[in-house]
Amino acid sequence: MEIVVDIHGMTAFDAQKHIEQVIRDASEEVTAIRIIHGYRGGENLRDMVSDPNAIRSNRIKRRRYTMNRGETVLELY
């Protein structure tokens, strides 16, 4: 199961905390979180999501980049 999280308009700090909370609240059935961060003016958000040290969770298996530059998928354990 996949969850979609849209972080448009958030600061990088607020988006980081929101994503970490979504991961904590996600059930074991959730295997991926698709993060919509945008790519025009969303470089700070994209860089934060891509940084392996920014979002802290032991559930993140890997980050997957799609053909859409405005989204990143976090695959979960």
Q: What is the CATH number of the domain that holds 44?
A: 3.30.1370.110
pLDDT above 80: residue 43: yes
> 9 in the Ramachandran plot: left (φ > 0), alpha (ψ -120 to 50) or beta?
left
pLDDT above 90: residue 42: no
DSSP string spanning 33-65?
EEEE--SSS-HHHHHHHH-TTTS--TTEEEEEE
Domain that holds residue 13: 2-76
Position 68, amino acid:
N
Encoding tokens for residue 67? 């053909």
Number of domains the chain is built from:
1
- Are the CB atoms for 45 and 7 separated by under 8 Å? yes
User: Whole-model pTM above 0.85?
Assistant: yes
Q: Which pLDDT value is given to residue 38?
A: 86
